[in-house]
């Protein structure tokens, strides 16, 4: 569950001992309260810190990342989103603020993913996949210039999963806070390039 540290908690419960604090912008990501600037991946200092961790041989080896998906959501078709197949990064003239932030995060996470691959670590990225509702699809993070070449690599695989569809939601979340969403997990498949 992106933002709620459930993977970290599960790894700890299973006995993994080299765990790092999750990077989450809010102390409570469900209510979006308790903003933490030292977790804001749009800031250069935070990006530099994460890149240093990526290249640190003693740093984490498995990285689960879930970049912002709002500006790539199917709902953007109804919310004046400017992303199109021809312009997956959006229209620079009329782009919404959330699309600008979404692009910053998408670009950085793609760079971090590549850095992790380069040093032999295991990056995993979760973000929205295609809609199961015909005609309701919107451009996804995977369609952007930063992710297209990554998805073509021989050492990267896409795992199409349904998230939240099996009552997987944070314990504190109300039933209406989460819905079924098609999700792709993109990960290193262990094959040499």
Number of domains in the chain: 1
**Does residue 63 fall inside a structural domain?**
yes
Q: What Cα–Cα distance (Å) separates residue 6 from each residue in 13, 132, 161, 168, 169?
A: 10, 26, 17, 10, 10
**Does residue 176 fall inside a structural domain?**
yes
- The pLDDT of residue 178 is 46
β-strands 62-65, 26-28 pairing: unpaired
Residue 132 predicted with pLDDT over 80: no
**Does residue 39 fall inside a structural domain?**
yes
For residue 73, the enclosing domain spans 6-188
The dihedral of CA 31, 180, 81, 111: what is its sign?
positive
**Does residue 193 fall inside a structural domain?**
no
Structure token pair of residue 18: 């080299």
pTM of the model: 0.83
Express each pLDDT in 96-118 by its tens digit.
Answer: 999 999 999 999 999 999 999 99
Residue 192 predicted with pLDDT over 80: no
Q: How confident is the model at residue 193 (pLDDT cuts 50, 70, 90)?
A: very low
Which CATH number fits the domain that encloses residue 172?
3.40.50
- Strands (E) across 55-170 are located at 62-65, 122-128, 156-163
- The pLDDT of residue 185 is 60
Express each pLDDT in 156-177 by its tens digit.
Answer: 988 877 655 444 455 555 555 4
**Does residue 163 fall inside a structural domain?**
yes
**Does residue 1 fall inside a structural domain?**
no
């Amino acid at each position: 569950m992106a933002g709620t540290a459930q993977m970290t908690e599960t790894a700890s419960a299973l006995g993994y001992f080299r765990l790092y604090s999750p990077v989450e912008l809010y102390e409570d990501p469900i209510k979006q309260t308790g903003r933490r600037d030292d977790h804001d991946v749009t800031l250069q200092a935070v990006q530099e810190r994460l890149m240093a961790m990526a290249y640190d041989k003693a740093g984490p080896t498995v990285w689960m990342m879930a970049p912002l998906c709002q500006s790539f959501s199917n709902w953007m078709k109804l919310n004046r989103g400017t992303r199109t197949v021809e312009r997956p990064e959006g229209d620079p003239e009329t782009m919404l603020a959330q699309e600008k932030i979404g692009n910053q995060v998408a670009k950085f996470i793609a760079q971090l993913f590549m850095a992790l691959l380069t040093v032999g670590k295991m990056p995993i990225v979760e973000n929205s996949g295609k809609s199961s509702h015909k005609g309701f699809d919107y451009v996804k993070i995977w369609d952007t210039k930063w992710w297209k070449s990554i998805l073509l690599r021989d050492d990267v695989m896409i795992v199409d999963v349904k998230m939240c569809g099996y009552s997987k939601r944070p314990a504190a979340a109300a039933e209406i806070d989460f819905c079924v969403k098609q999700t792709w997990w993109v990960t290193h498949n262990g094959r040499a390039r």
